[in-house]
Amino acid sequence: AQRVTQPEKLLSVFKGAPVELKCNYSYSGSPELFWYVQYSRQRLQLLLRHISRESIKGFTADLNKGETSFHLKKPFAQEEDSAMYYCALYPRETSGSRLTFGEGTQLTVNP
């Protein structure tokens, strides 16, 4: 079975500093990976997915199959980036399957 691990429950950085939210996974096949974000008093929503290779709100994430990681990065954090971030994995080889979420990382960007 697949597993997603976000080793940091809490992460605090200062505005303008680089930020990296770690996501490690275990899955033997070819996964599809996502980052979802939940801002205060807002719904959980998709931030980005690796297959689209987009940069959303300045965030990027690269799938590293060798290290089985999908870390989320932003070069200059903003206060509005403060939120709960979840990494999620979808096992493409398994039909009718579902997303597996990590435990989440609460990011705080201090002024």
Partner 1 sequence: DGGITQSPKYLFRKEGQNVTLSCEQNLNHDAMYWYRQDPGQGLRLIYYSQIVNDFQKGDIAEGYSVSREKKESFPLTVTSAQKNPTAFYLCASSRTGAGETQYFGPGTRLLVL
- Min dist CB 59 to partner 1, Å, is 16
Among candidate residues 31, 37, 38, the one with its CA nearest the CA of residue 3: 31
Where does this chain touch partner 1 (CB under 8 A) — which range of 12-20, 57-65, 73-81, 102-110?
Answer: 102-110
Q: What is the dihedral of CA 93, 97, 102, 104, to 10 degrees?
A: 130
99 binds partner 1 (CB under 8 A): yes
23 binds partner 1 (CB under 8 A): no
Looking at residue 32, what DSSP letter applies?
Answer: E
Amino acid at site 103: E
Q: In Å, what is the CA distance from 15 to each residue of 12, 34, 41, 76?
A: 10, 25, 21, 7
30 binds partner 1 (CB under 8 A): no
- Min dist CB 15 to partner 1, Å, is 26
26 binds partner 1 (CB under 8 A): no
Point out which residues bind partner 1 (CB under 8 A): 6, 9, 32, 34, 36, 43-46, 49, 86, 90, 92, 96-99, 101-104
